[in-house]
């Protein structure tokens, strides 16, 4: 018999709990590190190279009733007609496919077990102690402004520090005490990705985010800006993974301070 424990807060929020089982979201995060926004041939339609129409979970608990997986006919299908080579015409239905560039055939295979091991190792280091994975996955699962905000928050989770807003948490002498929090973020983006261009992209996207959150008059967010947010978030996360592989990171604060030292000279 199932009994509710009313001594616990049943309505509590677990901040890092995902929508799907953890193993599934780990695999989804790994796939989202691939440059789908560059592979798609229809960027005006959707930067994603795939969708999740449904997720079927199997429980090993013998007392949990098994559910049948959804029918493949719940997917989207297109009618397809072709010549059979003998003068006849064949009509059939095929699942709807996202059109991708031919480069995906040679580039996608590098996302293999070896790369998986690199990503999993990176997630255990200091640079991933913030909810980077959480927000990159949320961005994929969301739509519209929620997707856009989740991508910006991914960057902030990756490169932001509490000390940016609270000076008492800054370690040692502050070499950039005149820099605003947003400029500190721009500096770290530049330091990580190696140029001012990406820092300016972050500044542009952050201004849009701030206009929305603070109720300022704003125009529609363009497809270009939507894809820019996705691409910048992905590149930031990918570079953090590479950084964790290059050398051990003892302190996240020191690493980000080092990025700011480099980036401050670029912006």
d(CA 185, CA 213): 18
Contact call for residues 140 and 31 (beta carbons, < 8 A): no
The reported pTM is: 0.88
77: which strand partners? Answer: 95
Q: What is the pLDDT of residues 111-155, one digit of tens each?
A: 999 999 999 999 999 999 999 999 999 999 999 999 999 999 999
Backbone angles phi, psi at 100, to 5 degrees: -120, 155
Q: Answer whether residue 2 shows pLDDT above 60.
A: no
Q: What is the pLDDT of residues 47-102, one digit of tens each?
A: 998 988 888 888 888 888 888 888 888 888 888 888 888 888 989 888 888 889 99
Query: Which pLDDT belongs to residue 140?
Result: 97
Question: Average pLDDT in the 159-175 region?
Answer: 84
Contact call for residues 29 and 86 (beta carbons, < 8 A): no
Q: What is the pLDDT of residues 8-32, one digit of tens each?
A: 887 888 888 888 899 999 999 999 9
């Amino acid at each position: 018999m199932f009994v509710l424990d009313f001594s616990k807060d049943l309505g509590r929020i677990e901040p890092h709990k995902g929508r799907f089982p953890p193993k599934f979201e780990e695999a989804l995060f790994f796939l989202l590190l691939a440059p789908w926004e560059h592979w798609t041939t229809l960027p005006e339609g959707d930067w994603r190279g795939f969708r999740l129409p449904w997720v079927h979970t199997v429980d090993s608990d013998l007392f949990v009733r098994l559910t049948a997986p959804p029918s493949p006919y719940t997917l989207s299908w297109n009618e397809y007609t072709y010549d059979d080579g003998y003068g006849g015409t064949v009509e059939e239905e095929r699942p709807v496919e996202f059109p991708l560039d031919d480069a995906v055939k040679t580039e996608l295979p590098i996302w293999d077990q070896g790369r998986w091991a690199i990503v999993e190792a990176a997630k255990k280091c200091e640079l991933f102690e913030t909810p980077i994975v959480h927000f990159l996955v949320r961005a994929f699962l969301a739509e519209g402004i929620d997707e856009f905000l989740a991508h910006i928050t991914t960057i902030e989770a990756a490169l932001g520090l509490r000390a940016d807003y609270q000076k008492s948490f800054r370690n040692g002498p502050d070499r950039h005490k005149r820099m605003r929090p947003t400029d500190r973020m721009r500096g770290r983006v530049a330091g990580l990705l190696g140029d001012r261009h990406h820092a300016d992209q972050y500044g542009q996207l952050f201004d849009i985010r701030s206009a929305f959150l603070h109720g300022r008059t704003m125009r529609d967010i363009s497809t270009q800006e939507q894809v820019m947010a996705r691409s910048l978030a992905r590149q930031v996360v990918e570079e953090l993974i590479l950084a964790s592989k290059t050398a051990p990171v003892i302190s996240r604060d020191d690493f980000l301070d080092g990025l700011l030292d480099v980036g401050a000279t670029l912006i």
